[in-house]
Amino acid sequence: MNEIVLEIADTLGLPRWKVENAVELLEEGKTIPFIARYRKEKTGELNEIQLREIADTLDYLKKLGNRKEEVLRLIEEKGKLTEELKASIVQAKTLQVVEDLYLPYKSKKKTRADRAREKGLQPLADFIRTSKTRNGEFVSGFINPEFEVNTAEEAVEGALDILAEDFAQDLRIREKLRNELRKKGIVKSQKTDNEDERSVYRDYYEFSQPIDRLAAHRVLAVFRGEREEILKVSLELPFPILSDLKRLIGWNEYLAYYAELETASEDSLSRLLMPSIEREVRNQISEEAQARAIHVFARNLRDLFMQPPLGEKAVIGIDPGYRTGCKLAAIGKDGAFLYHDVIYPTPPQNDYTGSAMKVVQAINVLGTELISIGNGTGSRETEQFVSKLIKEYGLDVKYMITTESGASVYSASKVAIEEFPDLDVTTRGAVSIARRVQDPLAEYVKIPPESIGVGMYQHDVNQSELKKALDREVESVVNLVGVNLNTASEHLLKYISGLNSRVASNIVKYRTENGPFSSRKQLLKVPGLGPKAFEQAAGFCRILNGDEPLDGTTVHPESYGVAREILGRAALSPEELFLKREELPERLKTIDTASLAAEKEFNPITVREVLEMLKKPGLDPREELQKPLLRTDVLSMEDLVKGMELEGTVRNVVDFGAFVDIGVKQDGLIHKSKMGARVKDPLEILSVGQIVKVRIVDVDLQRMRIGLELLN
């Protein structure tokens, strides 16, 4: 493990002691959110991103070590493991090098070279490879009718098959060709004879771009087109490389059999080497593109989950539709389901009057303050209906468009059926659309994160890697926000550090049977939740108005002594934390953390962290973020003109730009070229849920496309 720690530290440029302690904590089963927040003194304040990099590098190096052991065993079983080969494998820094070293010993179907070796032609291949004089008599000595080697020409032919395979398996040659193809190669795609009905791949019918400049979304697009047999894709070098490869291993013109070596190398390059390296490079760029897509997806998911809750508002959720109508569901300020109905304000019925009567009555009776409209089929017609309704009846209500992503998955899930056994799937969807504005995080955690449609090409990436990345992102957000132990659902609790689905279920069951938790310590009474789980979970679970005021903060129970010392020096009691919340920052500003740490022998980092936590007791970090955009009016695409300036909500951010809801039927696209001269990655400046000011630069009514320019 010491070698692994040293390698991680060198790779990431971090002090060895920080990495060593982080690895120790990870190996003990501590989660990244827990280490990042409550073990800063041990890791030297490594943040979550750095800890993730350490964890990922640790996983890779473990995988590399396991593969080395396996390859050494397999080669040794064949009786071909030399000390030199063993040393090369042990010293290999990447899985690719290990696989290159293993390639000649890999079990595979019998090759032309294998058959030539069986005919005893290996010595002839070695002679041709190095001889500086031609020797026909020596070559003729390999004629052997018993092995179907009837002429000297056939003997040479077999020897060249051996040489071609050796050429293709030479580590130096493979590395050289791989690097040249990655750095200077070109991806080309052409349309096949198959029909591309919706012209999805039109941009790639005659496409060519250097590999090192190919954006991730283009990689995924051309490979998907190839899988669907619409495109033919190839990787090519724009210059000859064979001469360089031959020189690399000493196949030079002064050798007597250079012409034969040239034939072998040409055969090797076209038949064995290039197809193999092209597959490797394809896999590499595909994996890198998938990793980028997963990163984009995870970042968008995080931003979606971090959207600020609108809190205790009575909301009507509408799941729009045409023929089957719009499902309507009302929820109270506490999220409790109150009422549902179906209205038909959209085509083909266009029942404005009947629909208006139902909605207005529901608003007046239930005290509705906000209408949340799903952004699916029929969304804009429903929005027009709601906007007209607000004006016509003078309603003190606003509305917002809410993403329906994953609503259908939730509606048919076991979770939704248990919550609302008497409702149909579309009505459950309307409830979800309503609740998403009250507390997005609490509602979104009920949906498998991979089913929430933010990001790009989520169906083209490795699904297990996608799930792992998204689960990690959800875990990070849930722990950042924290949970109210007496109201959090099982779906939220299972993401808390140290907990799992079973323990989360037990917490809810314990709460139901014994009443609300009055202290964090009661968690230890929950079946399956022992001291180790308590250590990780306690700080992220808050209890308001319990026996211990500090249980309502993010301060970990193990640091309550530090917290009391800090409060005492500020002439405050724990009971005053929430009563004098406005005064806290000013009162605590006077605390000298260094002297307190020295006097009481506390860790200085812990003292500083606890002080910051006490300044904002019970604060939901989402409350400091930009609130959603609420509307009372609606536009149509026909209303848009070039140069018009509008406000909109970012719905999705991808590598080539961002899609923005500006209140018309179609989301507009801010291409990254319209974000500012120096913007290379849209994720650096935009996030899902962000309110932005934009200018219309293009409106294409026929193709339903809106081009936007970012103004702020």
**In the chain, what percentage of residues exceed pLDDT 90?**
75
Alpha carbon dihedral 254, 260, 263, 264, in 10-degree steps, equals -100
User: Token pair of 185, please?
Assistant: 């190669």
Round to whole Å and give the CA distance between 119 and 127.
16
In degrees and rounded to multiples of 5, residue 207 shows phi and psi of -120, 140
Question: Please, are residues 655 and 215 in contact by the beta-carbon 8 Å criterion?
Answer: yes
Number of neighbouring beta carbons within 10 Å of residue 690: 19
- ∠ at Cα 503 (500, 504), nearest 5°? 80
pLDDT tens digits, one per residue of 199-232? 889 999 999 999 999 999 899 999 999 999 999 9
Give yes or no for residue 292 having a pLDDT over 80: yes
| CA-based nearest residue to 654, from 221, 288, 217 | 217
Give yes or no for residue 114 having a pLDDT over 70: yes
Give yes or no for residue 673 having a pLDDT over 80: yes
pLDDT confidence tier of residue 634, bands split at 50, 70 and 90: low
Whole-number pLDDT of residue 247:
95
SS3 628: coil
SS3 498: coil
pLDDT tens digits, one per residue of 582-595? 888 888 888 999 99
Mean pLDDT of 245-250: 95
Q: Are strands 657-661 and 645-654 parallel, antiparallel or unpaired?
A: antiparallel
| CA-based nearest residue to 331, from 367, 382, 305 | 367
pLDDT tens digits, one per residue of 297-319? 999 989 988 988 888 899 999 99
What are the sequence ranges of the domains in the chain?
Answer: 2-105, 112-294, 315-402+431-438, 477-621, 637-710
Give yes or no for residue 3 having a pLDDT over 70: yes
| CA-based nearest residue to 345, from 357, 334, 337 | 357
Output DSSP code: residue 626: P
Q: Look at the alpha carbons of 400, 304, 484, 555 in this order and tell me if their dihedral is positive or negative.
A: negative
What does pLDDT average to over the chain? 92
User: Token pair of 115, please?
Assistant: 């058959």
pLDDT tens digits, one per residue of 638-665? 888 889 888 888 989 998 899 998 877 7
Of 6-15, 452-461, 464-473, 601-610, the range with the lowest mean pLDDT is: 452-461
Whole-number pLDDT of residue 199:
87
Compute the 3-state secondary structure of the chain and give helix, strand, coil in percent, each to the nearest 5.
55, 10, 35
Whole-number pLDDT of residue 510:
97
Round to whole Å and give the CA distance between 498 and 115.
58
pLDDT confidence tier of residue 197, bands split at 50, 70 and 90: confident
Longest Cα–Cα distance in the chain: 107
Give yes or no for residue 635 having a pLDDT over 80: no
Q: Are strands 398-402 and 370-374 parallel, antiparallel or unpaired?
A: parallel
pLDDT confidence tier of residue 617, bands split at 50, 70 and 90: confident
Whole-number pLDDT of residue 85:
94
pLDDT confidence tier of residue 601, bands split at 50, 70 and 90: very high
pLDDT tens digits, one per residue of 126-142? 999 999 999 999 999 99
Is the link from the previous residue into 348 a cis peptide, with omega within 30 of 0? yes
CATH entry 2.40.50.140 includes domain 637-710: yes
Output DSSP code: residue 592: -
pLDDT tens digits, one per residue of 57-113? 999 999 999 999 999 999 999 999 999 999 999 999 999 999 999 999 987 889 999
- Residue 162 to residues 130, 157, 251, 401, 516: CA-CA distances in angstroms? 14, 9, 15, 67, 76
| CA-based nearest residue to 42, from 611, 608, 607, 605 | 605
Mean pLDDT of 614-641: 76
DSSP secondary structure, 308-371, as one string: PP--S--EEEEE--STT-EEEEEE-TTS-EEEEEEE--STTT--HHHHHHHHHHHHHHHT--EE
Query: Which position has the token pair 């919550």?
Result: 419
Round to whole Å and give the CA distance between 537 and 670.
41
Whole-number pLDDT of residue 311:
82
CATH entry 1.10.10.650 includes domain 2-105: yes
pLDDT tens digits, one per residue of 355-381? 999 999 999 999 999 999 998 888 888
Tell which CATH classification among 3.40.225.10, 1.10.3720.10, 1.10.3500.10, 3.30.413.10 matches the domain 112-294.
1.10.3500.10
pLDDT confidence tier of residue 18, bands split at 50, 70 and 90: very high
pLDDT tens digits, one per residue of 81-93? 999 999 999 999 9
Whole-number pLDDT of residue 679:
85
Q: Which residue has better confidence, 676 or 18?
A: 18
pLDDT confidence tier of residue 527, bands split at 50, 70 and 90: very high
pLDDT tens digits, one per residue of 331-342? 999 889 999 999
Give yes or no for residue 453 having a pLDDT over 80: no
Mean pLDDT of 391-395: 93
The CATH fold assigned to 315-402+431-438 is Nucleotidyltransferase; domain 5 (3.30.420)
Whole-number pLDDT of residue 357:
96
Tell which CATH classification among 1.10.10.10, 1.10.1040.10, 1.10.760.10, 1.10.150.310 matches the domain 477-621.
1.10.150.310
